[in-house]
Copies of this chain bind each other. A is one copy, B any other.
Amino acid sequence: MSVEQKQKRIEIALGREKADLVIKNAGIVNVFTNEIISGDIAVHDSLIVGVGDYSGKEEIDAGGKYVCPGLIDCHVHIESSMITPAEFARVVLQHGTTTVIADPHEIANVCGIEGIHFMLNEARSVPMNIFCMMPSCVPATPFENNGAALTARVMEPLAGSSHILGLGEVMNYPGVLAGDKEILNKIELYDNAVVDGHSSGLSEHELCAYKAVGVLTNHECTNIDEVIAHLRLGMYVQIREGSAARNLDDIISGLIERGVPLNHCLFCTDDKHLQDISREGHISFNVKKAISLGVDPIEAIKMATINPAKCYHLKRLGAVAPGYSADLLILSDLNNFDIDKVLFRGSVVCEKGKKPNISRIIDDPNVLNTVRIPNLSPEHLKIRIKDDTANVITIIPNQLITKKERLAVPKDNENNFIPDEVFAKIAVVERHKATGNIGLGIVKGFGIRNGAIASTVAHDSHNLIIIGDNDADMLLAAKVLKEANGGYTVVSGGEVKGTLPLPIAGLMSDRDAFFVENKLAGMIESAKSLKVPDGIDPFVTLSFLALPVIPELRVTDRGLFDVESFSFIDI
């Protein structure tokens, strides 16, 4: 802040000059004293300069309504919403989120550093703060081929960037505990910033070790005992309420019961799908739910404002006070958290229920055209059954874990596997460097008949994953997604039933949220019509079948992977 800017601020704060904008007659939520204070808020050049009695060139009469700081989602993977940062901002701003700390782990697995640049570049044009953490685990495992490796060396030149707040979730906690040099090198790069954690089930000693090397946060706590164990070490607990993982209820109830200070408790969504954001809201839902569970509304708001701002050293965010960014919500009700207006840096960016206007052009060649696969033939999909039985991935409805079973499966005269109503074929095709790597497997319980489903969203390497009961439809699905440069598709009987193109890294749409949400709903219907049973989300379940860290059996582009023995096995 230059001296001239300071002089101007002084004049306005003293009331000698009119502010650019004054919000009159507000019930101001004070996150420092836990009070509601009646007064005006004077804004100049995007910052709050005064709270008290002011008049402005432009005035908004809050008419006694509440004004609180804009909300912060302190850990989110934007890619999980399948829209780009600008479109994501358009969606979540209306729910009062004015800052997100994004971990671009997914796009980094496809495009490396260039993917992070794309996210940050698009974020720049948006009326919202989008910060990033540097993804720490790309690739996530050595058992698959992804698009890029973010080594400590690759990260180093970006370590000082003001938009990258630290190191992203250190999922490789076994590596940390084993003293692995590469992950410790990455942590060292961010010794003076924030290192996000991702661990669960650590012993007391293990958690001490994790903290002692510098890990500061964790969003994987699911119960109050785990939360207390983290808080005691000075860690910050990011209470997650997303689409799949919903931990808020248990944790908040426990916190109320234990009566511990909440200043190291933050809110996050981690992964939240568009339809859930539409239905519930975004971080606003965490706040609302915490209030409904009995947390004082101001304390609930603090977990989404000043607490994360302090954790991540965002000194201008999270409060309604001089020197803070004028990211503000006008609320007609505090308990229901009814948002009337959202301001970002002193400008109204959306009014009740309306999405803000944000234009964008996506022309970054680094994130487009990322689906690179050779032409496939039926020969590529042949599974030879050598024994009487085969290793089968058995899906458990409503769960991410699978079972490894040894079963007799149908085969033809040449001992090639033939899918039927019980057993489907699955293929994971390396799609970043056209290596021709293809991993094949047999899946029980996905139920697909007369068709195939394919996706380029397949955690964490995001190869092309295809499941089906016949090679022709599987090959067609691959062809469709190659041409679309990534996405979701459903084909049946040689006909394409629906495709959601995700041309940005094969992960995100270039269309708006409304389109994506509706298209996706229709495609889930199409998939269901191919007899995918209840308890299985055709695309989400599919996207996890390639993740070689969740027990028991997975398939990557390098083959069938036994998570229990941490080794590849034959079918």
Residues of A within 8 A of B (CB): 1-3, 6-7, 9-11, 13-15, 30, 32-35, 37, 42, 47-53, 176-177, 179, 181, 184-185, 187-188, 191, 204-206, 208-209, 211-214, 228, 231-234, 260-261, 263-264, 310, 319, 321-324
Beyond the given A13-B212, A53-B204, please list 10 additional residue pairs across the A-B interface where CB-CB is below 8 A.
A1-B214, A6-B179, A11-B179, A13-B205, A13-B208, A13-B209, A15-B205, A32-B260, A50-B208, A214-B323
By a CB distance below 8 angstroms, the chain B residues around A205 are 13-15, 50, 52
The residues of B that contact A30 with a CB separation of less than 8 Å are: 232
* A51 engages B232 (CB within 8 Å): yes
A6, A7, A35, A211 interface centre (most CB from chain B within 10 Å): A6
Cβ of A212: which chain B residues have Cβ within 8 Å of it? 6, 9-10, 13, 47-50, 322-323
Nearest CB in chain B to that of A315: its residue:
B192
What 8 pairs across the A-B complex have the smallest Cβ distances? A13-B209, A212-B322, A50-B208, A7-B179, A234-B321, A211-B322, A13-B208, A3-B184
Instruction: Establish whether residues A211 and B177, one from each chain, have CB atoms under 8 Å apart when the complex forms.
Output: no
Number of copies: 2
Question: Contact between A1 and B233 (Cβ–Cβ < 8 Å)?
Answer: no
- Least CB distance, A214 to chain B, in whole angstroms: 7
Contact A323 B234 (CB under 8 A): yes
B323 touches A211 (CB 8 A): yes
Q: Which residue of B lies closest to A3 (CB)?
A: B184
Q: Within 8 Å CB of A51, what residues of B?
A: 208, 232-233
Q: Is the interface of A mostly helix, strand, loop or mixed?
A: mixed
Distance between A423 CB and nearest chain B CB, rounded to angstroms: 44
Contact between chains at A184 and B14 (CB < 8 Å): no
Find out whether the CB atom of A209 lies under 8 angstroms from the CB atom of B32. no
Cα distance, A2 to B181, chains bound together (Å) = 10
B-chain residues with CB within 8 Å of residue A310 when the two chains form the complex: 310
Residue in B6, B50, B233 whose beta carbon sits within 8 Å of that of A184 in the complex: B6
A188–B2 touching, CB < 8 Å: yes
A15 cross-chain contacts in B, Cβ below 8 A: 205
Find A261's partner among B32, B208, B211, B321 (CB 8 Å cutoff): B32
Query: Provided the pairs A32-B264, A33-B260, A52-B204 are in contact, do residues A10 and B177 lie with their beta carbons within 8 angstroms?
Result: yes
Most buried by B among A15, A208, A209, A322: A208
Of B32, B188, B234, the contact of A234 (CB 8 Å cutoff): B32
Asked whether, in the complex, the Cβ of A33 is within 8 Å of the Cβ of B211, the reply is no
24 contacts between A and B (CB under 8 A): A1-B191, A1-B213, A3-B181, A10-B176, A10-B179, A13-B208, A13-B212, A32-B231, A32-B232, A32-B260, A32-B264, A33-B231, A34-B261, A47-B212, A49-B212, A50-B212, A51-B233, A52-B208, A53-B204, A212-B322, A212-B323, A234-B321, A234-B323, A263-B263
Identify A6's interface contact among B187, B231, B232, B263, CB under 8 A: B187
Q: Which residues of B contact A324 (CB under 8 A)?
A: 234
Give the residues in chain B near A261, CB-CB below 8 Å: 32-34
Name the residue in A53, A188, A233 with the highest tally of chain B Cβ atoms < 10 Å from its Cβ: A233
